[in-house]
Chains A and B, each alone.
Chain A
Amino acid sequence: LAKTTQPISMDSYEGQEVNITCSHNNIATNDYITWYQQFPSQGPRFIIQGYKTKVTNEVASLFIPADRKSSTLSLPRVSLSDTAVYYCLVGAAAGNKLTFGGGTRVLVKP
């Protein structure tokens, strides 16, 4: 199981872009990278998933370099409501058990 390492916390300001990098040096060939968001006292919520290169949806972008040993979640123009914990997960395509790490606590300030 690939271990993930991400910063414990990050501060940002409204309107800024937030980039959270996750290291997963032992990622396996069939592993996907998935990011979830969790607000206080709520369940995690899927943000984005990718395998390689770049993925973009209406909420975020995910950048994955060619060696796939890291990934960066990019949140454009954050607002106060983006204050949450962001989790990077790495898991095999054939499995569906989600393994959460400690996540990155993002605080967006006015």
Chain B
Amino acid sequence: EPEVTQTPSHQVTQMGQEVILRCVPISNHLYFYWYRQILGQKVEFLVSFYNNEISEKSEIFDDQFSVERPDGSNFTLKIRSTKLEDSAMYFCASSDGGQITDTQYFGPGTRLTVL
């Protein structure tokens, strides 16, 4: 069964450093998402991406965050200058359609630790 993959599984960085989290969505999917989950808290929507542009973003997704689909397979989340509060699990998801009835498939996550 096709699945979403994410690398790395765990990233440790110093406050103020840039990090890039990578995702390979399911190959025929057209819609891509990033969510995050701070330890012990809810899963929070960050951004959705379609046709090479952001279709929706949350208030969490400020100027420090950016997303890119650099080639036909990867989808990345960049945090320009990490803060302690960015420590969380980051989940990538993809779907083949953009409706709520189109199932989003989540990757295993990247645990980001900011020191």
Contact = CB atoms under 8 A, between A and B. Distances in A.
Interface in B17-42: 31, 33, 35, 42
B108 A49 contact: no
Interface of A: 32, 34, 38, 41-46, 49, 87, 91-103
B106 interface: yes
Nearest to A43: B106
B100 A95 contact: yes
B52 interface: no
Contact of B104 (A32, A93, A94, A96): A96
A98 B91 contact: no
Contacts of B103: 46, 49
Nearest first, the 9 closest Cβ-Cβ pairs linking A and B are A43-B106, A100-B43, A91-B100, A43-B91, A46-B103, A96-B98, A97-B45, A100-B42, A44-B106
Interface in B55-112: 56, 58, 89, 91, 93, 95, 97-109, 111
Interface of B: 4, 31, 33, 35, 42-45, 48, 56, 58, 89, 91, 93, 95, 97-109, 111
A98 B45 contact: yes
Contact of B99 (A38, A94, A101): A94
Given A38-B43, A43-B91, A98-B35, A93 B108 contact: no
B102 A45 contact: no
B108 A43 contact: yes
A41 to B, nearest CB: 7
Contacts of B35: 98
Nearest to A33: B100
